[in-house]
Chain A
Amino acid sequence: MINTKKMIFGLDSFGDIPTDDEGNVYTQAHAIRQVIREAKLADDLGIDVIALGEHHREEYAISSPDMVLAAIATITKKIKLATGVTVLSSDDPVRVYERFATLEAISNGRAEAVLGRGSFTESFPLFGYDLQDYDLLFEEKLNLYSKLLEEKPVTWEGKTRASLKDANVFPKTENGNIATRIAVGGSPESVVRTARYGFPLTLAIIGGSPERFKPYIELYKRAADKFENPAFPIAVHSHGMIADTDEEAIELAWNHIRKSFVKIGNDRGWAPMSREQFESEVQNGSFYVGSPETVAKRLARMIKTLGIGRFELVYGAGGLSASAREHMIELYATKVIPRVRELLSEA
């Protein structure tokens, strides 16, 4: 059963570079300040979570999401400050703990570490890791991180970083725990691992019918049961574009979401997304595009079908104007979210 009051709504950004209304492209520095401004807006409007992703490439300004979140912490009151994701495989678990414990202090307990293997690879050569160790790096580092979360001296040994003997790591948090989730893109093994460590699960659904992920949610629950860990409410992260009318939103999504998919896909050898593929994502797939009413209906249907507890809208894809981004956040907070809650309570 979905508790509509408890249903959590968030916004996700990778720090895409916006333009002004005349089409002038922001600097990366300005793009970061824009995200801080948007997070403040989201907090003022009562959105529950802002999640910032870590990337190390030209299209995205945010490589150090926890620093941006620290800035946001000082000008917001209630919004939860999450990453989406912190690429744990090419990071150091001790540092990750330290940074999030610091963010937890600055924000009075609003920090959330969202860890993943990452779907980009730039961070690996940048920090001296071998992609061949993709799996091992994540497994070992998650193991160490989960020990650090207990906030007691840690003794640890592995292949991917120096061993620790009775290492005491600071600062300690006031609540004794940093909220942590694992985000996965659809690898069954990652779903099982998340349940094995007893973390909540975020599914990044960036294409295709969301119904396809139903068995993955079942897999998470069954695995949690098997490992005698709690199964937490699932979060879903998907792309979206909200504007005053369907036509406007579709045009913006074609010009911006599709454009960024084509750019990224091109690096991976994918043929450019066709109009047919785009339409299918908008109608039945994983792009939530349209007027507030259209987006609310599609979200409510997906939330009901999958039985999730949290949704995060990836907003502001490549080159969308800052004013359109802010308008989307307003529509999401003031029209879409209340309407989704209403639709869910009707069921």
Chain B
Amino acid sequence: MGKKIGILGAGKLGTVLGQLALKAGYEVYIGGSGNPSKIALTVEVLLPGAKVLTAKEVAKKTNLIILALPLGKYKSLSIEELSNKVIIDAMNYWWEVDGENPELTDVSSSSSVLVQNYLKNSKVVKAFNHMGYHDLYDEAKEKGHEGRKAIAVVGDASEAVAQVAQVVDDFGFDPLVYGSLSQGIRMEPGSPVFGANLKYHDLKRALASFETTKRGVAAIKAGNQAMK
């Protein structure tokens, strides 16, 4: 049995992650918002070999699903369809598409915790959010390559985290497991790792330095659990 992965969202990030998945030999199932025919041509050209399905069908095909839709739309996801799935949350707050939304930038929690609270029967793991999509494409390298970059992975369910760490490795990056899902605050926009493109040890140092940043200080003040 080959490896399978689902992707919800066929925008810039979803298509790049799809390309990495195909390169790594995964069977890829991708769903956009609404009718699959809307993204059929995009997928045919940018992700040859990936299958376009509805979000519901994607969830039926695989237990491992990447969320690459605009974060502000997370409540359009079906709690039921995604029950018991391992969910890779690659989403970030992005005002271009999400508008002003204080809930999504709240320093007392993290956006992935919001997603987990909403998808209450799923195992949410945060990964692939902190590197720009063109860097994800350019920087993917085989295991052991001297210049290989790292991707942070955080989540509460250890088996799910291990599974996602394997995906990160397959896609061309060193996985850096960094604790519970609430630690995702360290990977969000405004943190030292966001868009930084680092190797394993540098990424680890940058994650640890979050407390010393403006946003880190604000998170401590707001009583963010991850800072305790």
Report whether A131 and B100 are in contact in the complex, using a CB–CB cutoff of 8 Å.
Answer: yes
Report whether B134 and A270 are in contact in the complex, using a CB–CB cutoff of 8 Å.
Answer: no
Using a CB-CB cutoff of 8 Å, which residues 176-228 of chain B contact chain A? 188-197, 206
Report whether B46 and A219 are in contact in the complex, using a CB–CB cutoff of 8 Å.
Answer: yes
Instruction: Looking at the assembled complex, report how far the CB atom of B58 sits from the nearest CB atom of chain A, in whole angstroms.
Output: 18
Per the CB 8 Å criterion, the residue count for chain A at the interface is: 34
Q: A188-B10, A265-B195 are in contact. Are A134 and B135 (CB under 8 A)?
A: no
Q: Is the interface of B mostly helix, strand, loop or mixed?
A: helix
Q: How many A-B residue pairs have CB under 8 A?
A: 87
- Contact bitstring B22-49, A, C-beta under 8 A = 1, else 0: 0000000000000000010110111000
Q: How far is the CA of A280 from the CA of B149 in the complex (A)?
A: 14
Q: Is the interface of A mostly helix, strand, loop or mixed?
A: helix
Interface residue? A46 (CB, 8 A): no
Range of interface residues on B (Cβ < 8 Å): 20 to 34
Interface residue? B146 (CB, 8 A): no
Q: A212-B138, A218-B45 are in contact. Are A277 and B197 (CB under 8 A)?
A: yes
Report whether B99 and A130 are in contact in the complex, using a CB–CB cutoff of 8 Å.
Answer: yes
- Contact bitstring A261-285, B, C-beta under 8 A = 1, else 0: 0000100111100101100100001
Residue among A192, A209, A212, A216 making CB contact with B41, cutoff 8 Å:
A192
Q: How far is the CA of A135 from the CA of B135 in the complex (A)?
A: 25
Q: How far is the CA of A280 from the CA of B138 in the complex (A)?
A: 10
Closest B residue to A217 using CB positions: B45
Interface residue? B15 (CB, 8 A): yes
Using a CB-CB cutoff of 8 Å, which residues 159-208 of chain A contact chain B? 186-189, 191-192, 207-208
Instruction: Looking at the assembled complex, report how far the CB atom of B52 sits from the nearest CB atom of chain A, in whole angstroms.
Output: 12
Note all chain A residues with C-beta closer than 8 A to B191: 269, 271
Note all chain A residues with C-beta closer than 8 A to B134: 186, 207-209, 212
Instruction: Looking at the assembled complex, report how far the CB atom of A56 sits from the nearest CB atom of chain B, in whole angstroms.
Output: 15
**Candidate in A191, A223, A265, A270 with the most chain B CB atoms within 10 angstroms:** A270
Instruction: Looking at the assembled complex, report how far the CB atom of B42 sits from the nearest CB atom of chain A, in whole angstroms.
Output: 4
Closest A residue to B193 using CB positions: A271
Residue among B12, B96, B100, B190 making CB contact with A134, cutoff 8 Å:
B96
* Partner-B contacts on A (CB < 8 A): 119, 121, 130-132, 134-135, 186-189, 191-192, 207-209, 212, 215-216, 218-219, 222-223, 226, 265, 268-271, 274, 276-277, 280, 285
